[in-house]
Amino acid sequence: MSKRVGIIGGGAAGLFTACMLMKLQVNRELDVTILESNPEPGKKLTLTGHGRCNITNRKPVSELKKGYHEAENYIYPALKAFGPEDTVRFFETDLGLKVKEEDNNRIFPVCDSAIQVRNTIVSYISDQTNIVCNAKVLDIKKTSCFEVHTASGIYEFDCIVLSCGGSSFPHTGSAGDSYRFALSSGHSVVPLRAALAPVKTENGSQNITKKLSGVSVTAGVSVYCDGRKNASNNGEILFADFGLTGPAIMEISREIPGDLSGMDVWIELDLIPSLTEEQLDKELISLIDEHPDTKISTLMSGFVPASVADEITSKAEAAGLYAQSFTRENRRRLIKEAKHLRIGIDQVPSLDRAYVTRGGVMLKEVDRKTFQSRLVPGLYIIGEALDIDGISGGYNLQACMSEAYLAAADILGK
Ligand SMILES: Cc1cc2nc3c(=O)[nH]c(=O)nc-3n(C[C@H](O)[C@H](O)[C@H](O)COP(=O)(O)OP(=O)(O)OC[C@H]3O[C@@H](n4cnc5c(N)ncnc54)[C@H](O)[C@@H]3O)c2cc1C
């Protein structure tokens, strides 16, 4: 009898597992079923990369692993076993989807269509995989096999791959069921937080972000908690009505604590990161000398967009001041606002708008060489369900791919 494999959740990780099982099995020795709660598989996958699907990132694996934060060492063997080059080869050779490389080593399909990626994967696996949609798994029981309960019946499998996703973007179907199933099978779950999320700022700070809504700048971004710097990075930020977003903000959002009660938390923006305070001061002094009859906000617009220049000069109480009347104290205040703009945070970033989940099934309970549970033989756990989150740029789909490969190889005894 064929080995019965149940894939719980037909998102990126579940679909990739079916692909890998199909690629690796020789004599159709498996009977593979995907149970997906949505009417169609891969809903979140179709939204990836702004609808274009950033499938992986072509950095060398030794560098790529650093994009997985605390999980860097855990995921390294999986990336080595099936890395970006393997993903590219699989897409081009097996799926027939040519790919292209964009900035920062990001890989996209030439068709620029995440829907086409999903559809191509589904047609690749459909010959050897039973894809059951509208099949929300309600419960999983381990008897002599795995009994998987859905509203329309009970399925029996010899092994299962838990790939129900995390808790981010829950309207796509990943509403945290992975954790419920993992907990009920004895696993521990590291508390969940938003990662790669926009950041809602406190009302006072929204005055600035609302006024600058739609403006994008390159900035230094630091997260402070009770006066201590938690993390910092550099990159593009975008002001919005609700607060802050853009790549550098999304990337650092995971560093905002999961509980803000009793804490003073803020994001500090360095709006002129290319200059130190001393360099900026020197440049301001020479500009003031050269243009004494010019408004200081106009001089500042040589460093930042005019709307940002207006905002920081007004915050530094220098709105309307001309260069000739600008004092050393005025310069000190202006530089403080330009390089240490404080934006208060009084809400944790929401999982509803996060691209991925930080936290999840505890990694030490899952073998990193096979992605099989160390507690329940025959149970594999992959994808966003695990306590792994990557930075943006194709890292999260690559993680799904690498994990799916090792799980599939182990299921097939390879
Ligand atoms: C807007 C957006 C853009 C993104 N862009 C990129 C990108 O370009 N590149 C990148 O690398 N990453 C990107 N990501 C992250 C990436 O999409 C995720 O890391 C990835 O989808 C996780 O795959 P998964 O299979 O673990 O979870 P999911 O893709 O969420 O799939 C889980 C599946 O399980 C199903 N399910 C849940 N509960 C049950 C149940 N009880 N029974 C049956 N089925 C169930 C869900 O319906 C879902 O289909 C993006 C994320 C978002 C939200």
Whether residue 34 is found in the same domain as residue 180? yes
pLDDT in tens, 140-187: 999 999 999 999 899 999 999 999 999 999 999 999 999 999 999 999
Closest by CA position to 408, among listed 11, 22, 1, 3 = 22
Write down the pLDDT at residue 27.
82
31: β partners: 4
Residue having the nearest C-alpha atom to atom 10 of ligand 1: 394
pLDDT in tens, 262-313: 999 999 999 999 999 999 999 999 999 999 999 999 999 999 999 999 999 9
Residue having the nearest C-alpha atom to atom 5 of ligand 1: 48
Rounded distance from Cα 25 to ligand 1 centre (Å)? 25
Rounded to two decimals, the pTM is 0.96
Ligand 1 site residues, Cβ closer than 6 angstroms: 8-14, 35-38, 43-45, 47-49, 53-54, 136-137, 163-165, 168-169, 172-174, 177, 355-356, 383-385, 394-397, 400
pLDDT in tens, 213-234: 999 999 999 999 999 999 999 9
- For residue 11, give the 3-state DSSP assignment: coil
Whether residue 97 is found in the same domain as residue 239? no
> How far is Cα 367 from Cα 203, in angstroms, rounded to an integer?
45
Whether residue 24 is found in the same domain as residue 112? yes
Rounded distance from Cα 323 to ligand 1 centre (Å)? 54
**Atom number of ligand 1 nearest to Cα 44:** 29
Whether residue 189 is found in the same domain as residue 209? no
Pocket test for ligand 1, best of 48, 75, 402 (most atoms within 8 A of CB): 48
Whether residue 129 is found in the same domain as residue 188? yes
Rounded distance from Cα 176 to ligand 1 centre (Å)? 11
Closest by CA position to 268, among listed 337, 348, 193, 349 = 337
Residue having the nearest C-alpha atom to atom 51 of ligand 1: 355
Complete DSSP assignment for 18-43: HHHHHHH-SS--EEEEEE-SSSSS-T
- For residue 51, give the 3-state DSSP assignment: helix
Task: Give the whole-number percent of the chain exceeding pLDDT 70.
Answer: 100
Using the 8-state DSSP alphabet, how is residue 378 labeled?
T
**For residue 396, what pLDDT band results from cuts at 50, 70 and 90?**
very high
Q: Is 77 exposed, middle or buried (0-12, 13-18, 19+ CB in 10 A)?
A: middle
Write down the pLDDT at residue 380.
98
* CB-CB contact of 177 with 148 (8 Å): no
Pocket test for ligand 1, best of 131, 174, 180 (most atoms within 8 A of CB): 174
pLDDT in tens, 29-71: 899 999 999 999 999 999 999 999 999 999 999 999 999 999 9
Whether residue 105 is found in the same domain as residue 52? yes
Whether residue 287 is found in the same domain as residue 314? yes
Closest by CA position to 75, among listed 366, 379, 308, 375 = 366
Residue having the nearest C-alpha atom to atom 30 of ligand 1: 165
Residue having the nearest C-alpha atom to atom 29 of ligand 1: 11
Residue having the nearest C-alpha atom to atom 23 of ligand 1: 12
Write down the pLDDT at residue 15.
98
Residue having the nearest C-alpha atom to atom 13 of ligand 1: 48
> How far is Cα 340 from Cα 338, in angstroms, rounded to an integer?
6
Q: Where are the beta strands (DSSP E) in 83-197?
A: 99-101, 106-109, 129-132, 137-142, 146-150, 153-157, 159-162, 189-195
Please enumerate in sequence order all residues whose Cβ is within 8 A of that of 214, keeping only pairs 6 or more positions apart, or say none.
Answer: 238, 239, 240
Indicate which CATH number applies to the domain containing 381: 3.50.50.60
Domain boundary among 297, 330, 349: 349
Whether residue 134 is found in the same domain as residue 163? yes
**Atom number of ligand 1 nearest to Cα 150:** 42
Domain boundary among 321, 349, 377: 349
**For residue 28, what pLDDT band results from cuts at 50, 70 and 90?**
confident
Write down the pLDDT at residue 313.
96
Pocket test for ligand 1, best of 100, 386, 396, 398 (most atoms within 8 A of CB): 396
Whether residue 270 is found in the same domain as residue 175? no
* Radius of gyration of the chain, Cα coordinates, nearest whole angstrom: 25
Q: Which domain holds residue 160?
A: 3-194+356-411
Whether residue 320 is found in the same domain as residue 403? no
Write down the pLDDT at residue 203.
86
Rounded distance from Cα 278 to ligand 1 centre (Å)? 46
Whether residue 188 is found in the same domain as residue 216? no
Residue having the nearest C-alpha atom to atom 8 of ligand 1: 49
- Across the beta sheet with 153-157, what order do the strands follow? 137-142, 146-150, 153-157
What is the tally of structural domains in the chain? 2
Pocket test for ligand 1, best of 355, 392, 402 (most atoms within 8 A of CB): 355
For range 92-109, the mean pLDDT:
98
Closest by CA position to 383, among listed 393, 365, 398, 373 = 398
Dmax over Cα atoms in the chain, in whole Å? Answer: 88
pLDDT in tens, 174-216: 999 999 999 999 999 999 999 999 999 998 888 899 999 999 9
Residue having the nearest C-alpha atom to atom 53 of ligand 1: 355
Whether residue 60 is found in the same domain as residue 183? yes
Rounded distance from Cα 170 to ligand 1 centre (Å)? 9
Pocket test for ligand 1, best of 44, 68, 162, 398 (most atoms within 8 A of CB): 44
Write down the pLDDT at residue 117.
98
Q: Is residue 252 over pLDDT 80?
A: yes
Closest by CA position to 129, among listed 41, 46, 38 = 41
Indicate which CATH number applies to the domain containing 273: 2.40.30.10
Domain boundary among 349, 367, 388: 349
**Atom number of ligand 1 nearest to Cα 53:** 8
Using the 8-state DSSP alphabet, how is residue 144 labeled?
S
